[in-house]
Amino acid sequence: MEGNIFIESFEEIWDRLNAFRKNEYVPEECKDCAEVSSCCGGCRYEGLQEGQELDKKDSRMIKKLTKKTPLKKLPSIDKNTLYKINLYGTRKESEDSYILYNGGTLLVNEQMKNFVENIKPRGFKLNDFPESLRDKAETFGRILKAGGFLIE
């Protein structure tokens, strides 16, 4: 599973890691846990380092969770404030997902990636969106602000 960029191309290494991106190494104990969609179960690195299987249960796991941990409250955004977009770049992560990065990361679909790239030059102001889209724009704006992608 290792890769050496001096011996192989980045593309070859990246393609070999496809199983990681598709979460094919989820331990059996994690498959029906309420948080598996967030943590992706197990610790592949721990298994790799110990010469064990990549679907090894994380050594810190005590038990599977029966209900999801509530998400922290998203920050509010002011409808009249013009926020700057704090985006260093994007990276295609899989066929239908992208990473936005600015020191932190946010996983989005292609439509959201394009949206952020398109509004970057002019910024984000909630009142600039049509009334019919304002609820969706506010939700996404709050997610962007929580990740440090919107700054005043």
- The predicted-structure confidence for 66-94, as pLDDT tens digits, reads as follows 777 666 788 999 999 999 999 999 998 88
Spatial neighbors of 36 by CB under 8 A, at least 6 apart, are 26, 30
- Which tokens in the block code for residue 126? 């909630």
Q: Which two tokens stand for residue 119?
A: 């509004």
The separation between CA 25 and the C-alpha centre of its own chain, rounded to angstroms, equals 18
* Residue 85 near residue 141, CB atoms below 8 Å: no
The DSSP 8-state label assigned to residue 69 in this structure reads: P
- Residue 136 backbone class (left: φ over 0; alpha: ψ -120 to 50; beta: rest): alpha
Per-residue model confidence as pLDDT tens digits over 14-64: 888 787 777 777 887 777 877 777 666 666 666 566 666 777 777 667 777
The pTM of this model reads: 0.56
- Return the pLDDT at 47: 58
**Rounded CA Rg of the chain:** 19
Q: What's the token pair of residue 133?
A: 């889209």
* Residues 109, 120: Cα–Cα separation, whole Å: 17
* C-alpha span between 12 and 14 (Å, rounded): 5
Distance CA 147, CA 152 (A): 13
Task: Name the β-bridge partners of 124.
Answer: 83
Of the candidates 149, 137, 10, 146, the residue with the CA atom closest to the CA atom of residue 88: 149
